[in-house]
């Protein structure tokens, strides 16, 4: 059974913005016949930046947890 004990939740408007941007980019590529490579580069660059920031956030949380444990002893 899955439970959610998260301290924060991602707002639903972020998902709506992402879906609308991807849809707008796909429509631009289909309607104007533009090359899809720059759009793909932007999408993959954004994803890789997000993964890097998330990894940095997890590292920060790890350091904070270790400091809390060290303060207790």
Q: Is residue 20 part of a domain?
A: yes
Are the beta carbons of 15 and 29 closer than 8 angstroms? no
Domains: count for the chain? 1
User: Which of residues 4 and 43 earns the better pLDDT score?
Assistant: 43
**CA–CA gap between residue 53 and residue 50 (Å, rounded):** 5
Cα-based distances in Å from 48 to 1, 42, 62: 31, 10, 21
Decide: helix, strand or coil at residue 27: helix
Q: Is residue 50 part of a domain?
A: yes
- Rounded mean pLDDT, 54-71: 94
Tokens of 28: 């631009």
* Total residue count of the chain as it appears in this document: 73
Q: What is the pTM of this model?
A: 0.56
State pLDDT tens for residues 14-55: 888 888 888 887 887 788 777 777 777 888 888 899 899 999
Res. 5 pLDDT band, cuts 50 70 90? low
Res. 2 pLDDT band, cuts 50 70 90? low
Q: Which domain holds residue 53?
A: 14-72
Q: Is residue 63 part of a domain?
A: yes
């Amino acid at each position: 059974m899955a439970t959610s004990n998260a301290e924060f939740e991602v707002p639903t408007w972020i998902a709506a913005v992402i879906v609308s941007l991807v849809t707008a980019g796909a429509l631009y590529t289909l309607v104007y016949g533009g090359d899809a490579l720059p759009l793909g580069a932007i999408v993959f660059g954004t994803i890789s930046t997000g993964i890097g920031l998330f990894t940095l956030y997890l590292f920060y949380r790890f350091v904070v947890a270790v400091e809390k444990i060290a303060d207790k002893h």
